[in-house]
Amino acid sequence: MDGVRREIRPIVTIADFRHIRARLHAHIRTTPVVPCGRPNVFLKLETLQHTHSFKVRGAFAHVSQLVETADKRTILTVSAGNHGLGLAKAAATFDRSCVVIVPRSAPKTKIDAIRAYGADLRVEGSSYDEAEELALRLAGDVKKYAFVSPYNDPFVVLGQGTLGFELLEQLPHVGAVVIPVGGGGLAAGVAAVVKELRPAIRTIGVQAEASAAIYHSLKAGKMVKVPDVPSIADGIAGNIDLDTITFPLIQKYLDDVVLVSEAEIMGAMNRLLHHEKLLVEGSAAAAYAALEHGKVKSDVPTVAIMTGANVDVMLNFSSLPL
C-alpha cells in the first residue's frame, strides 16, 4: 500500500535523522520546553508548533522527499486530523495536490483547518478504522497516489524524531521523556534519537486504556489487534497496521509503556488549563496524566511532550464584567 516505503532502506542511523532535521529546518518551529507546577517536570510545547501539532514534522519529511525525488503523484492520507493537517500544510507549501480522508469523529477544528490549506478533504466512515479502509483502497492505485501513513512510514518517523534533538539541546540534564503513543511514529522517532545519543535517558510511552494496541503488542511480543473504543485522546486512538515499522523501533528504544484512563486524561486536560494555563488535546494530556497519577516517576528531570492543541473547545467568560 505504500509505494514509497519500499524504495528506501530501513531507518537505522542517527545520520538519517540529522539529514531530515536539516531538510525540515525552514519549515518547523523549535518549540519551547518550559517548567510547570510539578517539580522536575518540563513540557515540550508542540501546541505552539505550526498547525498546533508535532505531526507537521513527519508530514514535511515525507512531502519534501517526494519533492526531492520529483515524485509528482497526488498525496493521500487518512488521519484523525493532525497528520492530515500537517500534510495539507506541507502539500500547500510545495504546491502539491493532496487528498485527506478523515472519519466523521474528527474534531471540527481540525477539519476546518485542513480545508483552509486547500486540501481535497473527504469525511468518510464513523471511525478511524473505517476511514482507513477507504484510504487503503484508493492507495492501491500507486501510479496516481502517494499514500502517507500517519505512522507506518520511515519519513514520518524520521520527521517526528527531529523533536528528540531539540529536547537534548533545550534541556541537557533531561533524565526521562514521556511520549504519547498511538501508531507510534512519534515514540519510535523520538526514542530512537534520544537512546542513540543518550542511552541513560528513560523513554516511556503513554497510551489510552481505551485504545492500547502498542501496549498489548509489547506484552505479546508481536503486533496484535485489540478492541478499541473512542477516546478523548482522539489523536492516539485506533488500531494500527500489524506490519508497522514503528513496532520494532518501539521494542528496541522504549523502556516502558503505561496506560491512563479516560477520566485521568480529562482531569489532566482540566488541570493543564486551570493550573498551567495550557490548552492541550487529549493525547498531550495523557502524558501529563501519567505523571500526575504516579505511573511515570519524575525523580529525574522529565519532559512530557505536549503533542498538540487541536481540540474543539468553547470558552465561557462568564465572570467578565461585560
Q: Summarize as ranges the residues that interact with its own copies (CB under 8 A).
A: 29, 31-32, 34-35, 45, 47-48, 52, 105, 107-109, 230-232, 234, 262, 266, 269-270, 273-274, 276-279, 282, 309-322
How far is the C-alpha of 42 from the C-alpha of 74, rounded, in Å?
Answer: 39
Side by side, the strands of the sheet bearing 33-35 are 33-35, 41-45, 302-306, 176-180, 202-208, 256-260
**Per-residue cell: 152:** 507506518
238: left (phi over 0), alpha (psi -120 to 50) or beta: left
Residue whose C-alpha is closest to residue 258's, from 188, 206, 190: 206
Q: Which is nearer to its own copies, 16 or 281 (CB)?
A: 281
How far is the C-alpha of 138 from the C-alpha of 110, rounded, in Å?
Answer: 22
Q: Are 276 and 259 in contact (CB under 8 A)?
A: no
Instruction: Name residue 97's amino acid.
Output: S
Residue whose C-alpha is closest to residue 177's, from 158, 197, 157, 159: 197
The residues near 322 (Cβ < 8 Å, ≥ 6 apart) are none
The C-alpha torsion from 223 through 224 and 230 to 231, rounded to 10°, is -50
